A = this chain, B = another copy of it.
């Protein structure tokens, strides 16, 4: 995996982010389908599923499919404002169709703004109660003058489908790693075209893994209802086989690295992500499950209880542009994507190599006779091989590779070649 050219990936990821950005996605509808078509361009082999409206999924039910073609407001001067074609955030998600004139006061009951960010157009939805509404900046709203307004939303609901994509990559073992991201947000960049793009590129990376040990399940879902739908169909198999999972969200900006823990922060996924982040960004953010917000809510729900945590760059809800039109393509970058890609690649590499090792000999091995230790002993001469001798000191069969990495404070990526050397020398063997 180290032959990967990160710069190349970063620019490719940004390119796909730019293509996906303008699409109007929602829980259901053609925007999701178009998004999955582009994802499939990246990683191929994506299976797309359609689940009919009205299907019961655990405590929930698939809603009607919503599609929208146009929407705007005509102000008293005849000027078009809140134009959906300019910015699809202007329409509240799942707005019912409307075409009428009304007064400013009547209009205001259907306007949504974000007071603390007066220039921004907020992202608002009403999935499960029929409403219509427009989202505009607080500044625009304040400038509206009295008069007759026309509102027009050309949307429709139908007995359609909820659409999601699934990429399965099999390994030697049925045991599998879950990567989950979502495809239901309209034109916002970090949250969330970054997650689907990263997940698709990770799919390619995983497929190229030599001697892949685990199987991988990468899913592109509408958030919440999509994850619930997916679990309702796949839970039993996933419960038996999932050893670790990662929800990817907000993985395109370059400001922070964040780990949202599983309910008790004690799963293999937490352990791996925590280890990898500790070497990449010692001051990375750690959030408890109380700060959850994406599909880890479903994967970690009491009766589901899969070993899943969530990885972000700047966490959803924690950066000012979150859920507004300021979460745009300027916010994400090649560097942001590459940083996230490297974290997830290191996590996968750590998972693939995370075995228990045990030294084969009694006492320290004589590394010198194998050319692995300096023959001259003077102050400081042992530091050059400290990672190796420390690895040996803790390769007692009770620690997995990540445990040892944590104990001796050396990244897994540096230990993998050491393990190879020691195995070749017959000095360690894999146990368990």
Contact = CB atoms under 8 A, between A and B. Distances in A.
A140 interface: no
A191 to B, nearest CB: 11
Interface string A32-72: 00000000000000000000000000111000000000000
Contacts of A407: 290
A170 interface: no
Given A302-B358, A358-B302, A393 B263 contact: yes
Q: Size range of the interface on A?
A: 35 or more
A363 B227 contact: yes
A379 B59 contact: no
- The secondary-structure label for the interface of chain A is loop
> How many copies, total?
3
Interface in A345-396: 358-359, 361-366, 368-369, 375-379, 390, 392-396
A8 interface: no
B122 A301 contact: no
Interface stretch (A100-108, A126-134, A148-156): A126-134
A362 B59 contact: yes
Interface stretch (A159-167, A228-236, A245-253, A414-422): A228-236
Given A126-B375, A369-B128, A305 B363 contact: no
A361 B228 CA distance: 11
B125 A377 contact: yes
A362 to B, nearest CB: 4
A397 B302 contact: yes
Given A122-B379, A228-B363, 4 more contacts: A59-B362, A124-B377, A231-B363, A235-B362
